[in-house]
């Protein structure tokens, strides 16, 4: 009875928010969880094929979408938090969208992205068939204090796996997580990059600590090479090509993580060629390399949320962009993290906008990057960017943090579910 009341109340909040033009997915789930605290644990335990949990500092959303797509291509009905809302209330809001009047979800398996801290906090609520961990870096010192705490949180999540834990072999901090779960008898599967791919990244792949050696394809799924959106992966059976949803080594690593996770879930049913075709047809996750149309102009959107994603994305962009806007929101009062990003590869930026534009412009100046204008009014700055002539080649490109991204997209009516999520 409590489940039914909680679902009804959560859906009523959803209806009110949507009628008012608000699209937040956290509020309805929060209401449901308070009324029916047992609903979410029951849902997480209800799937015949079990639960797959994806966590880590960066790459959670893309990896989750990739795993979900590959499993669906193999015929499984998959429940997922596709809005990237990865806190408990966001997952419950996904239940409100997909479940019946009692919150029961008709699916074979669940693949859920979970925030590092909250995935550990609610660990007693779930058991996972597979846990996949992408990487560790300290992207929010106010929340996590130190990378040692992130290691402890992800270890807690990994220990909820009844089956395998799929880990990034290039992240030395995750090697410590691997050691802790091996001691409990769990299987550890791995993914990583080749020596050549690692050497092609001028500032590494964004991990707090990187393993000195690279894994062999015989031990898991390895990214052999990357050329723009084209990548070659390899495993014990040999090499296979695929197309990435966007440029960047981090997207190739996410693909390797998804392949290894799907292989573990599907076992003998896993079809590598089908997985590669599925990933090659996948569209980018919201904001992460997608292209949208605003006022008749094609805009490539590059979302940066921490040092690693900022560095890897601008390294992939290089200086070839003819029209570039950088939007920095007010996520944090402390903007010192911008100084951990090497921005010199950008070469030139048309406009820097947003509440923290001055701090970003200062960082660019120290790296010798030329910029034409700085404006702390985000929308005014973006309007000025739209007014610039179109580039001779390609599209205009916007690099922005999550709050500036949501404000820009909301202002121009691009209110998708991902904009509404407010996820971390």
CATH of span 288-421? 3.90.190.20
For strands 109-113 and 288-294, give the pairing: unpaired
Only one residue has tokens 């702390």, namely: 376
Confidence band, pLDDT 50/70/90 cuts, at residue 107: very high
Pairing of strands 128-133, 161-168: parallel
Residues, the chain: 424
Instruction: Count the alpha carbons within 13 Å of 91 in the hemisphere toward its beta carbon.
Output: 27
- Amino acid 410: pLDDT: 84
Q: C-alpha 341: how far from its chain's center? A: 19
- Is the pLDDT confidence value at 362 over 50? yes
C-beta atoms surrounding 348 within 10 Å: 14
Residues 419, 92, 61: CA angle, nearest 5 degrees: 45
Please state which CATH number belongs to domain 2-280: 3.40.1190.10
Distance CA 379, CA 383 (A): 6
In this predicted structure, the answer to whether residue 168 has a pLDDT above a threshold of 80 is yes
Question: How open is the CA angle 404-60-23, to the nearest 5 degrees?
Answer: 45
d(CA 340, CA 105) in angstroms, rounded, equals 43
- Using one digit for the tens of pLDDT, what is the confidence trace for 352-361? 999 999 999 9
Alpha helices in 267-356 (DSSP H): 272-280, 307-317
Please state, in angstroms and rounded to a whole number, the distance separating the CA atoms of residues 197 and 224.
7
Q: Are 197 and 208 in contact (CB under 8 A)?
A: no
| Pairing verdict, β 396-400 and 51-55 | unpaired
Strand 324-327 to 348-353 pairing:
parallel
Q: If pLDDT is split at 50, 70 and 90, which confidence band does 135 have? A: very high
Q: Which range, of 53-62, 67-76, 218-227, 283-292, averages the lowest pLDDT?
A: 283-292
CATH 3.40.1190.10 intervals, the chain: 2-280
* Cα 156 to Cα 336: distance, rounded to the nearest angstrom: 30
Q: Which residues contact 179 (CB under 8 A, 6 or more apart)?
A: none
- Is 163's pLDDT higher than 70? yes
The three-state secondary structure class of 120 is helix
Segment among 3-7, 16-20, 206-210, 340-344 with least mean pLDDT: 16-20
Are the CB atoms for 105 and 95 separated by under 8 Å?
Answer: yes
In order, the DSSP letters of 177-193 are HHHHHHTTT-EEEEEEE
Q: Coil, strand, or helix at residue 4?
A: helix
Q: Are 328 and 401 in contact (CB under 8 A)?
A: yes
Query: Span 252-281, mean pLDDT?
Result: 97
Give the chain's mean pLDDT: 89
Kind and range of the H or E run holding 351: strand 348-353
Is it the case that residue 245 has pLDDT exceeding 60?
yes
Q: Residue 106, exposed/middle/buried by CB under 10 A (0-12, 13-18, 19+)?
A: exposed
* Neighbour-count burial for 386-421, b at 16+ CB within 10 Å, e otherwise: eebeeeeeebbbbbbbbbbbbbbbeebebeebbbbb
From residue 244, how far is each of 63, 98, 118 by CA, in Å? 12, 28, 29
Domain(s) of CATH 3.90.190.20: residues in the chain: 288-421
The closest alpha carbon to 65, from 48, 53, 80, belongs to 80
Tokens (6 digits) for 388: 């610039």
């Amino acid at each position: 009875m409590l489940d039914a009341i909680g679902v009804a109340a959560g859906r009523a909040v959803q209806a009110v928010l949507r009628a008012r033009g608000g699209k937040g997915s956290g509020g309805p789930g929060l209401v449901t969880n308070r009324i029916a605290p047992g609903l979410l644990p029951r849902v997480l335990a209800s799937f015949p094929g079990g639960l797959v949990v994806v966590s880590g500092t960066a790459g959670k959303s893309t990896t989750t979408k990739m795993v979900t797509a590959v499993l669906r291509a193999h015929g499984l009905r998959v429940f997922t938090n596709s809005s990237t809302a990865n806190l408990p209330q966001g997952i419950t809001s996904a239940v409100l969208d997909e479940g019946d009047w009692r919150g029961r979800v008709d699916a074979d398996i669940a693949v859920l992205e979970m925030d590092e801290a909250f995935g550990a906090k609610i660990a007693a609520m779930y058991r996972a068939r597979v846990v996949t961990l992408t990487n560790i870096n300290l992207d929010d010192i106010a929340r996590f204090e130190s990378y040692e705490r992130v290691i402890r949180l992800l270890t807690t999540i990994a220990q909820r796996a009844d089956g395998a834990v799929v880990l990034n072999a290039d992240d030395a901090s995750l090697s410590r997580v691997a050691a802790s779960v091996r001691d409990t008898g769990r299987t550890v599967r791995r993914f990583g990059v080749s020596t050549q791919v690692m050497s092609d990244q001028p500032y590494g792949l964004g991990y707090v600590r990187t393993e000195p050696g690279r894994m062999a394809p015989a031990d898991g799924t390895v990214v052999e090479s990357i050329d723009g959106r084209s990548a070659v992966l390899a495993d014990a059976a040999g090499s296979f090509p695929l197309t990435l949803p966007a440029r960047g080594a981090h997207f190739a690593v996410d693909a390797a993580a998804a392949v290894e996770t799907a292989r573990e879930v599907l076992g003998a049913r896993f079809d590598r060629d089908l997985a590669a075709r599925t990933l090659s047809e996948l569209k980018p996750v919201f904001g992460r390399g997608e292209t949208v149309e605003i006022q008749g102009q094609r805009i490539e959107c590059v979302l940066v949320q921490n040092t690693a994603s900022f560095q890897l994305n601008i390294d992939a962009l290089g200086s070839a962009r003819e029209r570039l806007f950088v939007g920095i929101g007010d996520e944090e009062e402390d903007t010192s993290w911008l100084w951990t990003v090497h921005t010199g590869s950008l070469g030139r930026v048309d406009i820097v906008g947003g509440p923290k534009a001055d701090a970003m412009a200062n960082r660019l100046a120290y790296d010798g990057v030329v910029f034409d204008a700085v404006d702390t009014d985000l929308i005014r700055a973006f309007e000025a960017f739209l007014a610039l002539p179109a580039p001779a080649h390609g599209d205009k490109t916007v690099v922005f943090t999550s709050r500036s991204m949501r404000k820009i997209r909301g202002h121009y009516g691009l209110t998708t579910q991902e904009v509404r999520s407010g996820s971390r």
